[in-house]
Each structure stands twice: as C-alpha cells, then as structure tokens.
Amino acid sequence: MTDYKATLNLPSTAFPMKAGLPQREPETLQRWNSIDLYRKLRQIGEGRPKFVLHDGPPYANGSIHIGHAVNKVIKDFIVRSKTLAGFDAPYVPGWDCHGLPIEHKVEITYGKNQPADLTRERCRAYAAEQIEGQKADFIRLGVLGEWDNPYRTMDFANEAGEIRALAKMVEGGFVFKGLKPVNWCFDCGSALAEAEVEYQDKKSDAIDVAFQVEDADKLAAAFGVAALAKPASIVIWTTTPWTVPANQALNVHPDFVYALVDTGDKLLVLAEELVESCLQRYGLQGEIIARCEGKALELVRFRHPFYERFAPVYLADYVETGAGTGIVHSAPAYGEDDFRSCKHYGMENDDILSPVQSHGVYVPDLPFFGGQFIWKANPAIVEKLREVGALLKHESIQHSYMHCWRHKTPLIYRATAQWFVGMDKVAHDGSSLRRRALDAIEQTEFVPAWGQARLHGMIAGRPDWCISRQRTWGVPIPFFLHKESGDLHPRTVELKEAVAQRVEQGGIEAWSKLDAAELLVDEAAQYEKITDTLDVWFDSGSTHAFTLDPRLRENGYVGDRPAHWPADLYLEGSDQHRGWFQSSLLEGCGTRGRAPYKAILTHGFTLDENGEKQSKSKGNTTDPLVVIKESGADILRLWVALVDYSEDQRIGKQILQTTVDAYRKLRNTVRYLLGALAGFDEAERLTDYDQFPPLEKFILHRLHELDAHVRRAYAEYRFQDVVRPVLEFCSGDLSALYFDVRKDSLYCDRPDSIKRRAVRTVMDEVFSRLTAWLAPLTPFTMEEAWTTRFPDAGSNCARLIPETPAEWSNPAEAERWSAINTVLEVVNESLEAARREKLIGGALDAWPAVTGPASAFAPFEGLDAAEIFRTSGAELVEGGEAITVAVNLADHPKCARSWRRVPDVGSDSDYPDLSARDADAVRWMDAQKA
C-alpha cells in the first residue's frame, strides 16, 4: 500500500504545546525592551484620542503581594485594551515614598537618635531601593508602562508640587489650625488619617460610675420633687476608664426620658428604658419615683468621683440607649462628640484637660495616676473608683476597637493642636469643600455603581481633614507662625512659592536648612518655622497635580509629560474610598474646584480558596512571584481576567489549576491555528463573501458577534466577559465543531480548492482576532503566537483589533447551525456509545441513519451531513417527532489517504486505493512537483 502521508496538508508550527512560560516570558520581556515597546506605542499613538489611567501609588516598602498583583494587572488590562481600541493610553507608574513605615525601618536599622537630615537621607535611599525591587516585579508581571521615568512623591519637583498644592488650599481659605481630637497612635507618636485606622477586637474594662449630685435642689426641681430625701448620683457607663481623670461634663439626650430611681439607700439617675437592665447589672432593687426629659437636666452639676471639680450636664443628640445608662461621660480631649459638645457650651481650648502625653503616659503631676501608661493605669483607676464608692459595676468585654494599621496597637482620640483642611469652611467663592466634593461625586462615573453612594456617604459625614503629622520623613508644612499671636504670616502663599522653588532644587531638606531670615528678612525674629509634616494622604492625593499637568514653570510645575487633567480613570481597591479616592477628591476640589478623575473603578480583596482573609500567620497566602516562577505571569493574569474583580476574589492551588486548564484550551486553539495556517499568504485568501461555504459564514458571524461583545466588554472594564465567551468560542464553535468538521478538508483537499482556501481564510481571521482580543489579558502568549507566525511584523501589542466587515453578520446562518448542533449532539452520543460497545473503531467506520421530523433536517439542505457528523456517510430519514440514530457500518472500501469509506474509492485507475477527491488532490500535487 502506498504511503500518502507526505501528500497530506498536515499542520506545522514551531509554537510548542508545552507553554514553558517561566522560561519564555523573560525572553519576551527582553524583546519588548530591545524594541523600546512603550516608547514605540507612544509614537504610534500620536494624534489618537488620549486615555489616561492615573496610577494610585503603592507604598515603597516591602515585596509585592497578591493584592498589588491584582491591582497592577487590572490596570494593565485597561491600558493595553485602550491601546488596542485605538487610544493613546500612556501609563506612568508611581510610588508613595514618605511616611512612618519607611522612617520606622530606618530607625530600626540606624537607631532613633539620628540627626533629622540624616534620617531623611537614609529614608530617601531606602525608598529608592524598595522601588527598584517592586518595579522589577511589576515588569515581570507584564505590566507595560513608563518604568524608566515613573513618578515618585519624593522626587524634588513632586515635593515642590505638593507644597504648591497646599498653597492653593491655603489661598482658597480651607486650611486652619485648631485644637481637635484626632486619631492618635502612641507608637507612631503622631496623628493618623481616617484611612490609617482599622478595627480589631479588643478586650476592655467596662465600668458603671456614679457621679454624686452637687446641685441637689436643681436636680429635685428637674424631676418635680420638693427635695431629695437621699444621696443622689447620676450614672455613666464607659469602656475607657483611662478617660475618667479627664472628665469635664456629662451628656444626656434632650428628648429621652430619665428616671429618678430609689434603690433603698440612694437615688440613681438613669435613662428610663435602661433602668431594668442597669439595676440587674448592679444587683440592686429599686423603683422609679420621678421622671423628666433630658432637657430638664441641663447644667445641673455633679461631682467628679475623685477630683475636686464639677461636671455639668450638657445636652447632646449623639447619646444613645443601645447600651450603658443613657448618660455619657464627656472628656473633651479624648472624643470628637465630647469635644463638640463642650465647645458648644462655650468651653475654651485652654480649659480642656489633656493629661495624656503623645507617648500614652499621663503627665507627671496628674494626681493618683501621674507617669502611668494609660492602658496599664486602667486597673488603678477602677480600684480608685471602688475605693471612693463610685464604682457600681466592673466587667471585661470584647468589642471592636480602632487600631493603627501599621502597628496593630489600640488608638485613642487625643486633642492636639493640628493643621486641618476644613470641610465646611466657606471658601472665597462662597462654597464649602464638602459641597464641592459632593457635587463632584455626582459628576463622576463609578464602577461598580454602588461606589458612588459609598463615597458620597463618607464625604457627607466626614470630619475636617487633619493634614499635619509630627514626623521627620515627610513633606514639610512650610508655615511661619507669629510667635505672639500664632497667626500665619500674611504673605504665606507667596512664601510657599519661594520655599517650593528651593525644594525643587534641594528636596524637603531645603526647608529644614532654611534660615527664616532668607525669606522674612527683618521680620524673622517675630516668626517661627513649624516642623510639622504633611499627612502622606496629602502626598498621594496631590499626585494628579504633578503627573497629569504639563508641569510647566509658568503653571508652577516642572516636567515634560503632556497635559491630561483630569484623569479618565482612578483604579484601586475598595478600601480607597476612604483613602486615595477621597484625599484626591478633596485636594482636587480644593485647588481646582472638581475631582481629578472622570471615573473611579474599584476591585475587591483577594481571599484564600476557602474565602478567608489571607494572612502569613495562617499560612494561607498566595505569593504572586511564586505563581510566576512556577506557572508564568500569563496564568496569574488569566486568573485575574476570569474572576469578578468587583467582588472579593479567591485564589489557591486548586483555583490556579483550573486557570491552567483554561489557559491550555486557549494555547491549544492558537497552536492549532498556527499549524493549520502554515504557508498561508494573501494570494490564497478568499475575498468574495459569497464564495464562503455556510459553515465558514457561521464562524465569520461568530467573529462579528464576538468582536462587538469583546469591544463592549473592554470598554466597560468587564474582563470576565471578554475571556469567558472567547474560551467558549474556542472550546465550542472551534474545537468541538469547526476544527473537527474541517479537518478532512484542511488535510486532504487540493490546496487551491475554494473550500480549503475558505477554511484557511477563516482560520486566518480567527487567529488575527484571537491574538488581538487576548493581547491585553495574556500578552506573553499572544506575543509568542504572533511572532511565531510573523517574526518580522513587529509586536502584537502595537496592533489594533482588526475591523470586522458588517456583511459577516448572518443571524440566519447562526440559527441554522444552532439547529444543526441539536442533531449533531444526538449523533455524537450514539457514535460514542457504538465506540464503547466496539461496534465501530472510529466515526469514519460509521454510516448512521438519522431519523427525525422534517423540521430537524431542513437546516441540512445543501450540506453534506456526513461531513458534519465526521462519518463516511449519513442518511437523514424523515419520520417521528424525536431524533433517533441507528449506527450502521460503512461497507465501502477505505480510502488510504483520508480513511473515509466511500463508494468512489478505486474509481480512478491511477490511484486505485483513493477516493476520487483524494486522487484528484494527489494528481494535482504530483503535477506541482513536475
């Protein structure tokens, strides 16, 4: 028998089945670097509409984790897909460089007692080192960007830009100095921003404390009784015994009903609805002898339990009756509500008692507890209350309490003199920052949409923004304060520009080295330089100013990047509604009257496979660098594309294995196309749509349909809706139908036949679109595929999605093949059953008789049913309502080339073991060789 294998048009490609991504991806990175791909994209993009995603800067400290990877990969999806869609989409990565974590690292290495300038120098060097490490990791992920020229908040020009942004806030009338309780961390030794606060469970002492009445007659009158026959006290409940030494008032709700309760030997004042639970807690019996509304108790004085001073009753709407006694003890230095209440009643700043120092220790001269750390003083305070007979109940409770996000230690509210951006201060144009921000939110697009209500609620209820910190490594607040009045210098805005120019040349160190006389001349002796630094959220919140602007000197900024303000998109985790999104919004509205972004996109957090928070202590973390080393960056990227990033995502070995399986489907599809398209050129391309067979028209229709879907999904940032339909197309329409049906034609038809040319033309169109559609998601693999086929055609990353002709849309053909598939599924099940029973060796041994209604077979008109079933022949028999299949054997000779058993085998005497089709193909090939 003649061996006809050499006459078959078998697939041929150098694209390997085994991906080997950990080895191949670095080679692709080298190629991109050698052609300066990012710069080339900028050149290609000149004149196109611009799309700018402004990078929220990660902190320059430590290795990247899975959250970093998810964030950067989603950003890369967007930037690459916008380029693919015809935009000029630059991406300038950035880093947040100032702040306590870096300062803390330097202190651990070199000690705390370094000169401040040396600390700053070492912090700058440490941040630069960390950036290089993170940068290498992000590049390895395949993130395309301006890595040679990122923005860093510690760059001199950017530090100067931040000072100029602060000057604009001052000029707008939003910045003021005030005494207010702020989130305070003893370990940081500084105020914290709201975004730096996290909540953890904490065990606390809960105490009920009695304050004896001083104004007995007023209390009796409030309750409408002639006199108090017994000693009377008002009872408070608190979980912060350490604040009792700083108590200065008592708060009741004006509209709540309060009860005077006779417990036998004394009278207690409690909220009426809590009397029963309180008495039960104290182990007392009692009866209510009088009632009054809270407003009747206003300004009645009670005695502090162990200090010689009085606590008046102030009315406050924030008092609740969900727990406790319905009376709140007020220490204005250590609570926002307490502070507001006492200020409302006229308490001056100098009258506010603040015995807790910055490191958490009471001042030395505080009676009974001086010099003690507050958390350790709690037992002593409880014991003192018991000693003086004021303690009614003491127990331990577990509750959610604010902690420092860095040190994981409990925080307190502490009243200190700080610089604030006022949310409700009326600016020179008559608007408040809160109003501007709320209006800006209404004009911003949110993905997902619920983010709008979330950010709106946060802005509507947030307090003034404390922007000052008491640290070394940070952008200075370059204010000169009058030594006597404490007022800002009247030329503050002008002076800030002078400072900014110096910082632009010498960095933040220029402020510490500045002699006030250089700027103030004869006034220098009357003013002092302050040493506070700016909140790092002000750093990152002002990045839009020095990255999205032209930064030309006449505008107060320096640089060479083109203008594009506001950004088209900000993208970060959902926690940034209270972080970067918010600080950027306030800074943008304060300096320019609107948000620095047109849209906000948020993603969820990454959990383990069981839906639990990842933690090193639990050992359930997934290291992105390990995934890359073991499986490749494209696997990690494909996992990100497959999940719904708007919610929390799960990752682990089993989930990643599922991703690997999905990747194999994509890779095998592309590999098959590459093999099938070996040697394809433009001369072979079929250009007349009418010449395409129905199956090819169906695949072209699917390309038209998918192309519109993919473009829309990318535009709406729905990457899951890109990759999942493409995967289904590859495994369903292509692998399960098209490739299988057309394998015979592809391998065996004459290369110049219209049918085979149609097959290869369609496969070329499929390859062209798959490598474009998937380029943003799996750029390494699509680059490998593209350059395997077109080694001299440039990077796949620089392509646009090919335009899809409107004539490819063919719903009628789609309907036809949907109906055909219904029949095909039944036939395939029957053939598989026959194979299992060893009635046939393969489908080509069969000649099935398919019986069913005429409507089921109408779509087969003009088609070869045997070709669709992949059998040697087939018979369609009308009859009955259900489709049934009788698997008959094909009893014709077997073609030695195609293996089909057809009647015309041997009809050509020159090729007695071939079918007529195969004989014609071999004769044509022999003629080509002659």
**Domain assignment present for 6:** no
Are 171 and 421 a contacting pair, CB within 8 Å? Answer: no
Angle at 737 between CA 731 and CA 739, to 5 degrees: 85
Beta bridge partners of 469: 533
Same domain, 229 and 160: no
Q: Residue 648: helix, strand or coil by DSSP? A: coil
Give CA–CA dist 222/220, Å, rounded: 5
Average pLDDT over residues 406-413: 86
Give CA–CA dist 398/206, Å, rounded: 10
**Domain assignment present for 626:** no
- Could you read off the pLDDT of 816-839 as tens digits, one per residue? 999 999 999 999 999 999 999 999
Q: Percent of the chain beyond pLDDT 70?
A: 98
Q: Residue 488: helix, strand or coil by DSSP? A: strand
Which pair of structure tokens corresponds to residue 341? 């209440």
pLDDT, position 180: 85
Count of domains for the chain:
4
Q: Residue 518: helix, strand or coil by DSSP? A: helix
Give CA–CA dist 309/198, Å, rounded: 36
198 HSE (CA, 13 A, CB side) = 9
pLDDT, position 616: 80
**Domain assignment present for 449:** yes
All residues at 6 or more sequence positions from 429 whose CB lies less than 8 Å from its CB, including other chains? none
**Domain assignment present for 630:** no
Give CA–CA dist 714/800, Å, rounded: 13
Average pLDDT over residues 780-803: 95
pLDDT, position 554: 36
Highest mean pLDDT among 424-428, 537-541, 771-775: 771-775
The CATH number given to whatever domain includes residue 438 is: 3.40.50.620
How sure is the predictor about 1, in pLDDT bands with cuts at 50, 70 and 90? Answer: low
Average pLDDT over residues 510-514: 92
- Could you read off the pLDDT of 792-812 as tens digits, one per residue? 989 999 999 999 999 999 999
Domain boundary among 797, 814, 831: 814
How sure is the predictor about 463, in pLDDT bands with cuts at 50, 70 and 90? Answer: confident
The CATH number given to whatever domain includes residue 806 is: 1.10.730.20
Q: Is the pLDDT of residue 925 over 60?
A: yes
Average pLDDT over residues 505-529: 91
Same domain, 529 and 489: yes
Eight-state DSSP code of residue 395: E
- Could you read off the pLDDT of 614-654 as tens digits, one per residue? 888 788 889 999 999 999 999 999 999 999 999 999 999 99
Q: Residue 37: helix, strand or coil by DSSP? A: helix
The Cα-based distances of 63 to 43, 66, 113, 132, 322 in angstroms read 33, 10, 28, 10, 45
Domain boundary among 748, 780, 814: 814
Same domain, 558 and 506: yes
The Cα-based distances of 732 to 756, 819, 821 in angstroms read 21, 15, 11
Same domain, 803 and 833: no
Bond into 16 cis (ω within 30): no
pLDDT, position 427: 80
List alpha helices for 488-542, DSSP H. Answer: 492-506, 509-513, 516-520, 536-541
pLDDT, position 555: 40
Calculate the average pLDDT of the chain: 93
Same domain, 262 and 368: yes
Same domain, 129 and 270: no
How sure is the predictor about 564, in pLDDT bands with cuts at 50, 70 and 90? Answer: confident
pLDDT, position 552: 35
Domain boundary among 399, 414, 447: 399
**Domain assignment present for 404:** no
**Domain assignment present for 635:** no
Bond into 241 cis (ω within 30): no
Same domain, 81 and 130: yes
- Could you read off the pLDDT of 241-287 as tens digits, one per residue? 999 999 999 999 999 999 999 999 999 999 999 999 999 999 999 99
| Residue linked to tokens 């923005």 | 151
How sure is the predictor about 188, in pLDDT bands with cuts at 50, 70 and 90? Answer: confident
- Could you read off the pLDDT of 94-130 as tens digits, one per residue? 999 999 889 989 988 998 888 999 999 999 999 999 9
How sure is the predictor about 2, in pLDDT bands with cuts at 50, 70 and 90? Answer: confident
Same domain, 675 and 538: no
Give CA–CA dist 644/723, Å, rounded: 12
Amino acid identity, position 904: D
**Domain assignment present for 902:** yes
Same domain, 377 and 254: yes
Same domain, 794 and 836: no
Average pLDDT over residues 465-477: 92
Same domain, 372 and 469: no
Residue range of the domain that includes 553? 50-174+422-603
pLDDT, position 301: 96
The Cα-based distances of 771 to 369, 590, 687, 752, 789 in angstroms read 72, 45, 21, 26, 11
- Could you read off the pLDDT of 718-738 as tens digits, one per residue? 999 999 999 999 999 999 999
Residue 470: count of CB within 10 angstroms of its CB: 16
**Domain assignment present for 33:** no
How sure is the predictor about 562, in pLDDT bands with cuts at 50, 70 and 90? Answer: low
Same domain, 698 and 715: yes
Question: What's the predicted TM-score (pTM) here?
Answer: 0.88
The CATH number given to whatever domain includes residue 308 is: 3.90.740.10
